[in-house]
Structure 1
Amino acid sequence: MEPVAMVMEKAWSFGLVLLWFSTLSCYLVNAADDKNGGFGASFIFGDSLVDAGNNNYLPTLSRANIPPNGIDFKASGGNPTGRYTNGRTIGDIVGEELGVPNYAVPYLAPNSTGKAILYGVNYASGGGGIMNATGRIFVNRLGLDIQIDFFNNTRKQFDKLLGSSKAKDYISKRSIFSITIGANDFLNNYLLPVLSIGARISETPDGFIDDMINHLSNQLTRLYKLDARKFVIGNVGPIGCIPYQKTINQLNENECVDLANKLAMQYNGRLKELLTELNGKLKGAIFVHANVYDLVMELITNYAKYASEACCGNGGQYAGIIPCGPTSSMCKDRDKHVFWDPYHPSEAANLIIARQLLHGSTKYISPVNLEQLRNL
């Protein structure tokens, strides 16, 4: 038997370790509170609209880590970061406005460890979609299933950082999960020539959208089981109006591709029904619907002179064929253009959209806006 003194010494040492761990977890939570007014983390899932650099770490054909992408991104001094725009994404702006002191770190970045994740993690990936086959033309990308697998790893890290009880509270009561996805499922899956011809022969638009909704329902439920409670889900924007679609279909300035927009609207109607259903079914969760489609359509209407042509791109009437890169032509009035490149909004457009989602009425964001969601 061990002497009583040794047993007492070990118990005292163990107690000190527990006290140290408890003090550290309180310190980490309080440090985060001091900097962001009590708001927890911003967890961002989606595609290139909100990718903050994950694709930089993948062998993929879909990348934005070349100039002049990021030319107006102040945090990098105008250097490209992997964001598919000239400045901040909607996710960046929302995080700033909600009081998060640091941008959500890309999950695949080397610095996505330790207390850096307390302010949020970005899992979004250019080319990613709801369906696992989406974006295979790019060789590599992170679909939503994989992004949620990665969040599962993050969830375990939070337990180690804060302890299971504090981690659960931090994630479920004080953090927001934003999902911006679905456009690639049409543009780089169902509507993509050659790769999708078999799917379109065998599956109607109704059937494909059914699959998308069922898959998304399972994905959101997975996040709920990992303690996510505050969700904001963006619908699909008017993908028939992006410069790429207008260019390849040789449309006039005031025209958009009808089929692409109809598919987006059909999906959006089903998405709204799904979120209403989940709000009634998953206890304690709130699913907020972000009406991105109408917000972007209003931008296109209000800035008609600047809405057809990509600010940075090459090829065709609207510079809509070749993605933005060092040899692209670039507009001077970047703060007026709706689209930065053939596919993605400019920072100016992202700012208008983000502020409506943060502070706007139920026409754009319902049942509550993001400022209200933070305070629930």
Structure 2
Amino acid sequence: MARVKSWSVALVLIVCMSLSYLGNAADDSGLGASFIFGDSLVDAGNNNYLPTLSKANIPPNGIDFKASGGKPTGRYTNGRTIGDIVGEELGVPNYAIPYLSPNATGKAILYGVNYASGGGGIMNATGRIFVNRLGLDIQIDYYNITRKQFDKLLGPSKAKDYISKRSIFSVTIGANDFLNNYLLPVLSIGARISESPDAFIEDMISHLRNQLTRLYQLDARKFVIGNVGPIGCIPYQKTINQLNQNECVDLANKLAMQYNGRLKSLLTELNAKLPGSTFVYANVYDLVMELITNYDKYGFVTASKACCGNGGQFAGIIPCGPTSTMCQDRDKHVFWDPYHPSEAANLIIARQLLYGTTKYISPMNLKQLRNL
């Protein structure tokens, strides 16, 4: 049952922006805070504090995460997320703290806050199969609370400058809106009868436009938005559809590509409409598809089989847990579990987003966005 938060991967990505950490957050130089919104690709532990079926705070998740000594933290991978890696590459010392963590108080939030939640989506109905999760609307509600806390910590004038000029807002979301909403058997059948794919995607874009505009109204100015990755190629989808290793689910990928086209247009629209804003588009779909198609060139032995999981040819049915079969060559698998990339894959993705060309990140890469 899915934690299918695939990698919107993007997302992941972005998400990535755990640029989170920056040295002395309250000084007058360098990056400010990293605010991370999204799904399980970037969840750093929020779902640990929810009564939900989507959790990753069980072994062997986190087995290669050095900061915890190999203990699970709630990250849906074996090691670092893309956000973690981005932060390290930029030399910042602390990870953005999960909003629901008891430690998310006082000066700890000055480095950044992570609101992401496994199972979350753009639409409020997305992920209801997991019972509880934080959708993007609720994540922004929580940021609104954080925004007021910044005023108290720094004073209104300095807080506004710190957030609007020095902080980065990353949004990695959308895959669950397909995998755990529109395409989900039984639960979504009514929606699919009443709403065409075009109409559903327009609904997603309309909601996202309002959500990003709301963040802008709360002083966000630097944004990085990940598109939806090739969700038809994850081990879960290949397994349940009984595909060969070089095949992907056509409908899922077509929906992702259609949404991605509308997302790119939306960001162009918002860049023009919202004064002083910079919206960066992370093309996670093409980046991950390159990794899947040419996995051997990047040192992987498979882009089809999950390292940790059970069920079917690609270990893609049962999520990673204590009773799962786990590979020994974890750095040779593109996928850690039926839905999420391994740390090794995250490393390649993060570096492209940090330093890459407009093929994968436009109109500028993340290092350029930080220095803007």
1:92 Cα offset (Å)? 1.3
Match status 1:344 vs 2:348 = no
The structure, 1 or 2, with the larger RCO (C-alpha pairs under 8 Å, 6+ apart) is 2
What's 1:262 paired with? Answer: 254
Higher Cα radius of gyration: 1
In the alignment, what sits opposite 1:3? none
Q: Is 1:325 matched with 2:321? A: yes
Looking at structure 1, the residues matched to 360 and 24 of structure 2 have their Cα atoms a distance apart, in angstroms, of: 34
CA contact (8 A) 1:37 1:99 kept: no
Q: 1:94: how far off?
A: 1.5
Out of 217, 221, 226, the residue aligned to residue 229 of structure 1 is 221
- Aligned residue for 1:367? 363
Q: What TM-score do you get using the length of structure 1 for normalisation?
A: 0.91
Residue from 9, 24, 34 that aligns with 1:31: 24
Per-residue displacement from partner, 1:290-334 (whole Å, max 9, x unpaired)?
000011001101216410000000000100000000000011111
Structure 1 counterpart of 2:52: 60
Asked if the contact 1:98/1:374 (under 8 Å) is kept, the reply is no
Q: Is the 8 A contact 1:87 1:346 kept in 2?
A: yes
Distance 1:89 1:30 in 2: 20
1:33 Cα shift?
5.9
Match of 2:196 in 1: 204
Determine the C-alpha separation between the residues in 2 that align with 1:248 and 1:367.
37
The 1-side partners of 2:289 and 2:29 are apart by 34
Q: Which residue of structure 1 lines up, in the alignment, with residue 11 of structure 2?
A: none
Aligned counterparts of 2:339 and 2:23: Cα–Cα separation in 1? 40
Residue number in structure 1 paired with 2:129:
137
- Mapped contact 1:357–1:364 kept (Cα < 8 A): yes
Structure 1 51/30 Cα, relative in aligned 2: closer, same or farther at 3 Å? closer
For 1:33 and 1:72, locate their aligned partners in 2 and report how far apart those are by CA, in whole Å: 31
CA contact (8 A) 1:42 1:95 kept: no
Distance 2:94 2:194 in 1: 46
* Off by >3 Å, runs of 4+ in structure 1: none
Q: Which moved more, 1:224-233 or 1:300-309?
A: 300-309
CA-atom RMSD in angstroms? 1.3
Query: Residue 306 of structure 1 aligns to a residue in which SS?
Result: coil
The answer for unaligned runs of 5 or more in structure 1 is: 1-28
| Higher helix proportion | 1
Pairing 1:154–2:150 present: no
1:42 aligns with 2:38: no
Deviates further, 72-81 or 36-45: 36-45
Which region of structure 1 is more displaced relative to structure 2, 226-235 or 90-99?
A: 90-99
The answer to whether the Cα contact below 8 Å between 2:23 and 2:94 also exists between their aligned partners in 1 is no
- Equivalent of 1:218 in 200, 210, 214: 210
Tell me, what secondary structure is at the counterpart of 1:335? helix
Answer with 99-108 or 232-241: which moved more.
99-108
Judge conservation of contact 2:173–2:226 (CA < 8 Å) in 1. yes
Structure 2 counterpart of 1:32, one-letter code: A
- In the alignment, which of 309, 312, 323 is matched to residue 313 of structure 1? 309
Q: Give TM-score, length-normalised by structure 2.
A: 0.92
Give the equivalent residue in structure 2 for 1:238. Answer: 230
